Amino acid sequence: MKAFVIDRYSKTDPMRIREMSRPEVRDDDVLIEVHAAGLNLLDSKIKSGEFKLILPYRMPLVLGHDVAGVVVQVGSRVRQFKVGDEVYSRPPDHRVGTFAEFIAVNENDVALKPKNITMEEAASIPLVGLTAWQALVERAHLTKGQKVFIQAGSGGVGTFAIQLAKYVGATVATTTSSANTDLVKRLGADIVIDYKKNDFEKVLQNYDVVLNSQDATALEKSLSVLKPGGTLISISGPPDPAFAKAIGAPWFVRTIISLLSSGVRKKATRRNLKYSFLFMQANGKQLREITGLVEAGAIHPVIDRIFPFESTNEALTYVEAGRAKGKVVVKIK
C-alpha cells in the first residue's frame, strides 16, 4: 500500500510517500480501506517532535488521526462490524496512520459512518468531535442554561464544539476574525468577539466553562471570565499531573509536567476554579453518540478544503498556516 511517512522528527522535512505492507490485523481489529483522512495540527506537532517526551514513536511513522472508509477484513474476535461496513474512527495513540491506503483499528475505537454525509465529511469529524465531546460533555458536564466560551470558533474543534454546546442548550461565546463572524453565528454562537478588535476578557464574565485552545496568554486571561466554581479546560496545554498519571509517564516526566502547569493550577485554585488539560482519547462508543447527532441534523461537518492524497504534504502545510475554516481533508479513494 502507499503511505506518507516520516523517518525522523523534523519541522521542515516533508513526509515522503512510499510502499509499505498492509498493517497486521489483530483478533480485535478491523482493516479499513481508507477513503478519506482528516488532518490536524496534532499531526504537525508530532512530526516536529513536540510530543516525543510523552508520545514516543518508532520510525518510520505514518501520521494521520482521522479516517473514514470501508471495512475490508475483520479479526477473529470482531463482533461489531463486518466486511463492507462504512466506518470512521480516530485511531488510538501509537496506532495512528491514516495517511495511507489501509489502517487496522481496534473495533472498540470504530463507529459506523453517519449515513447522511460523505466520506470526506466523515473523515473531518473524529478527532475534533471526540475532543469537543470529552471536554464539554464528559469533563465539564455542560448543561442547559450554562455559559461556555469556546476559543477560535472557526477552527476544527471550534466549529464542532459550538454546535455541540448549542445542542446541549448552553449560551455560547467565541472568538474569530470578522471574516468568519457569519460562519460561527450560523453554527450557533450567541456572542462573537473579533479578536483583532476586542479583548475577550473585557467582554465576557461569569462563565461556567472555558475551552482554551490558544497560547499561554489566552489561558491566563481565560481565568478572569469564569465565575467561582467554573471550569477551564485546555487542549493546547500545559499538561497537568492527572494527564501524566493517565499516560503512565515515568517519574521525571511527571515532575516536568507538574512544573509546567503549576502556575495556572495555583491561580485557578486561588480563584476557586478547576483547571484540567485534555488530550483526547479514541472512543468508538462516544463516536457512535456523535453519529446520532450528525444523522439527526444537530451537527454539520465544516470542511475548508479537500486535497488529493498525493498532496498530503501541501494539505498539512495549509493546516499549519492556521487559516482553515473547519477541517482540511485528503481524499484517498
Which residues on neighbouring strands pair with residue 209, listed in sequence order?
148, 231
Q: What is the pLDDT of residue 249?
A: 87
18 & 68 share domain: yes
> What pLDDT score does 156 carry?
97
Q: How many domains does the chain have?
A: 2
287 lies in a domain? no
Same domain, yes or no, for 93 and 193? Answer: no
DSSP-derived secondary structure letter, 92: P
Same domain, 149 and 91: no
pLDDT in tens, 69-79: 999 999 999 99
Q: Please tell me whether residues 177 and 138 are part of one structural domain.
A: yes
Provide the residue range defining the domain that includes 55: 2-125+301-331
154: closest CA among 302, 301, 326, 327? 326
CB 284 within 8 A of CB 90: no
CATH of the domain at 30: 3.90.180.10
Question: Is 323 within the bounds of a domain?
Answer: yes
Closest among 117, 38, 11, 67 to 324, alpha carbons compared? 38
Instruction: Say whether the peptide bond before residue 91 is cis (omega within 30 degrees of 0).
Output: no
pLDDT of res. 247 = 85
Residues 98 and 151 in one domain: no
Q: Is the whole model's pTM more than 0.85, yes or no?
A: yes
Low-confidence ranges of the chain (pLDDT < 70): none
Do 134 and 232 belong to one domain? yes
Q: What is the pLDDT of residue 53?
A: 84
**Where do we find the cell 492524497?**
309
Indicate whether 288 belongs to any domain: no
Asked if residue 239 belongs to a domain, the reply is yes
Pair (94, 138) in one structural domain: no
Half-sphere exposure of 313 (CA within 13 A, CB side): 12
* DSSP category for residue 77: T
- On whether both 100 and 135 belong to a single domain, the answer is no
Residues 149 and 165 in one domain: yes
289 within some domain: no
Q: Kindly state whether residues 121 and 135 are assigned to the same domain.
A: no
For residues 11 and 98, state if they share a domain: yes
What integer pLDDT is reported at residue 272 of this predicted model?
A: 97
> Is it true that the peptide bond before 238 is cis, omega within 30 degrees of 0?
yes
136 shares a domain with 91:
no
